[in-house]
């Protein structure tokens, strides 16, 4: 009871002191107090709105990445183990295009297509360059188009800006569709496209190395195994660019990826 009386006495004293202020001074104080409260409320409301808006964007951050803008940096290398030369012959497919649909928040849902011109495969040895395009091998005059359809990623795991995963899809070669799974690494670079071609957007690097059996994919199966081994090593180095920059806040502030 004594506490309540003391409390109300202090309140009463405070009110009397305020009422003793000149009217204009009191009016100005109240006006400034209202302004401060309004400004703080405006800031809080807009920050909250910005956070929720950015979070909403991050949940729908699926971006289309195009391989064409940086095609000069794209290559797919083919390594053959042979019974001649140094024991290894390396070739390269130089014409590569395609698109990838990628969400950093939902990498498992990644899809896309990569198109390759089989006629551009070169090894630097006249004999190999001639034979590899024969009907028993690629038959590139009749089947110039190679493609890989990406259906999903398995076991995706982020390590900083690097995403490791297994790509699953189908390789189309000589008009045959062959299931293919391969380990790859993706590096996501937000807002980095400008460094490469001066345009607005993000970049994805894609790297991987995996073996293929040429017999299983219908390339000269079971023939000349003494000169060219059955296993082919494929090394991919691709760069794809998007035309916009994904939201920043969910990535750095709220612990999102990458």
Q: Find which of 9-23, 83-97, 210-224 is predicted with most confidence, using mean pLDDT.
A: 83-97
Confidence (pLDDT) at 4: 53
Question: Counting every residue, how long is the chain?
Answer: 258
Q: Options 2.60.40.10, 2.40.110.10, 3.40.50.300, 2.40.128.110; which CATH number does 62-252 get?
A: 2.40.128.110
Given a contact cutoff of 8 angstroms between Cβ atoms, the answer to whether 203 and 189 are in contact is yes
The domain ranges of the chain are 2-57, 62-252
**φ, ψ at 88 (rounded to 5°):** -140, 135
Tell me how far apart the alpha carbons of residues 227 and 234 are, in angstroms, rounded to a whole number: 19
Torsion, Cα of 186, 193, 248, 106 (10° steps): -30
Which uninterrupted H or E stretch holds 38? Answer: helix 23-59
User: Considering only 85-94, 159-168, 169-178, 208-217, which range has the smallest mean pLDDT?
Assistant: 85-94
Distances (CA, A) of 109 to 61, 136, 148, 156: 12, 37, 16, 10
Taking only the tens place, the pLDDT of each residue in 116-152 is 999 999 988 787 788 888 888 888 899 999 999 999 9
Tell me how far apart the alpha carbons of residues 179 and 256 are, in angstroms, rounded to a whole number: 32
Taking only the tens place, the pLDDT of each residue in 13-43 is 665 565 565 666 655 666 665 555 656 555 6
> End-to-end CA distance of the chain, in Å?
60
């Amino acid at each position: 009871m004594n506490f309540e009386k003391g409390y109300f006495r202090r309140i009463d004293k405070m009110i009397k002191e305020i009422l003793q202020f000149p009217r204009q001074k009191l009016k100005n104080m109240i006006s400034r107090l209202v302004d401060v409260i309004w400004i703080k409320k405006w800031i809080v409301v807009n920050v909250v709105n910005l956070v929720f808006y950015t979070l909403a964007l991050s949940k729908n951050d699926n971006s289309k990445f195009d391989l064409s803008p940086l095609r000069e940096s794209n290559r797919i290398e083919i390594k053959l183990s042979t019974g001649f030369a140094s024991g290894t012959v390396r070739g390269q497919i130089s014409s590569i295009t395609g698109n990838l649909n990628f969400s950093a928040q939902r990498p498992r849902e990644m899809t896309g297509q990569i198109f390759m011109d089989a006629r551009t495969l070169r090894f630097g040895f006249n004999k190999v360059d001639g034979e590899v395009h024969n009907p028993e091998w690629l038959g590139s005059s009749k089947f110039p188009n190679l493609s890989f359809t990406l259906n999903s990623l398995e076991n995706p795991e982020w390590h900083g800006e690097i995403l490791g995963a297994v790509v699953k899809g189908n390789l189309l070669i000589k008009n045959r569709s062959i299931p293919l799974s391969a380990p790859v690494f993706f590096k996501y670079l937000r807002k980095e496209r400008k460094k490469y071609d001066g345009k607005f957007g993000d970049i994805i690097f894609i790297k991987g190395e995996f073996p293929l059996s040429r017999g299983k994919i219908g390339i000269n199966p079971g023939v000349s195994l003494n000169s060219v081994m059955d296993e082919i090593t494929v090394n991919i180095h691709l760069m794809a660019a998007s035309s916009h920059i994904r939201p920043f806040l969910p990535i750095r502030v709220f612990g999102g990826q990458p």
